[in-house]
Amino acid sequence: MHPSPPRTEPANDHHHHGAPSKRRFALHYLEMAVAMLVGMFVIGGALRGVLALADIEFGMATHPELALLEMAVDMALGMVVWMRIRGHAWAGTLEMAAVMIAPALIVIVPLRLGAMDGDAAMLVEHVAMFALMFLAMLRRRGEYGGR
């Protein structure tokens, strides 16, 4: 039996420029965005359906603060389910849920004070969610990039 020749490639599948790791990171970010949308449409749709059956009016026009918070929770729940399916630990999963819900809690203040309307609050909430999700992923880049 001959000894195997020395490896010329690293033991892991990361090229010297980290392209596979970056690709996995970007794919995970995209998966999280899809999971958020699924949560928003499936969980949010089910909730709104139940509320409609109960003849309860609920939405940005009548309850913007609740609508923003409900949307954030729906999106966070969709993401939590997907992260757990993908095998992520609770610490990172709950951290990610927190960065989804925090922007909604923050924009409620200027909304209640009349310094921001519902449309602006929703825009700020969503931009902040995606930015904070990216930062949370950078914080745990080894987990999300496959290292």
User: Does 16 score more than 80 pLDDT?
Assistant: no
What pLDDT, on the 0 to 100 scale, is given for residue 19? 64
Tell me the pLDDT tens digit for each residue of 91-135: 999 999 999 999 999 999 999 999 999 999 999 999 999 999 999
- The whole-chain average pLDDT of the chain stands at 86
Look up the pTM and report it: 0.79
For 11, 19, 22, 60, 105, the CA distances from 15, given in Å and listed in that order, are 10, 6, 10, 48, 41
Tell me the pLDDT tens digit for each residue of 24-53: 889 999 999 999 999 999 999 999 999 999
